[in-house]
Amino acid sequence: MFNIFRPAVGPASLSRRNNYKSHDVIQALQAMFNGKCYLCEQSPLSDPEVEHFVPHGDDPALMYGWSNLYYACRRCNGIKSNKHTNLLDCTDPNIDVFSEVIHYAGNAAVGEVEIRASSSNPSVQTVNTVNLLKKCFNEESTGLKAVSKESLLERLLEDYNEFMVHRNILVNKRSTLNDIQNAKENLKVMCTIEYPFSVFWKWHILKDPTILRKHPQIRTELQF
């Protein structure tokens, strides 16, 4: 999950309260969330949906409220449904959602993504968010969920393999200064909010003892 800035004023069509999926709403959400699902971070989305952060229960204020609308993929929206509430809000400027939840992609090849709280005493919102994200990445309780999980993890693994290429250059004794600088430039891009699954690459860097030993200023250099 990643933090984003939500403009105070929403799309004009929402004021009519007859369609929260109108063209201007979709365009605004797509731009605001950088084309990524706010839960799993995959992008681009071939099946985007408008997700209600707080289940609307046919309440017009929640159904059409700009602050309650989020950009999600069909898989994550279906898993979250109205069952997962009281979550970390990635649009809240007072909450650093990245720091609250650790993401590891290393076991994706065997069908398991690790999501856990970074704190030993997490908030209720963090615990609820961790439980939801675990399901978003790992749920395969039905045939369709198994297929969508495989597709999601394949996309994650593709970027993980790219990450590892650059990571290995940083720690390889044979790497030249130019090699290392190019690797850092590539990782800097992968750690930007626009890049798919960016939260994973940030956590893999922060928890990699070899990278941190060889490049102690890496987080400052990559600007995250």
Q: Are 114 and 107 in contact (CB under 8 A)?
A: yes
Q: How confident is the model at residue 16 (pLDDT cuts 50, 70, 90)?
A: very high
Concatenated DSSP letters for 118-171? SSSS--HHHHHHHHHHHHHHH--SSHHHHHHHHHHHHHHHHHHHHHHHHHHHHH
What is the arithmetic mean of pLDDT over 164-174?
98
Mean of all residue pLDDT scores within the chain? 97
pLDDT score recorded for residue 135 = 98
CA distance 127 to 95: 14
Bridge partners, 51 (sequence order)? 70
Q: Which helix or strand (DSSP H or E) is residue 115 part of?
A: strand 114-117
**pTM for the whole thing?**
0.94
Which two structure tokens, joined as six digits, stand for 50?
A: 């408008």
Q: Are 224 and 201 in contact (CB under 8 A)?
A: no
pLDDT score recorded for residue 30 = 97
pLDDT score recorded for residue 57 = 93
pLDDT score recorded for residue 126 = 98
CA distance 164 to 61: 46
Q: How confident is the model at residue 117 (pLDDT cuts 50, 70, 90)?
A: very high
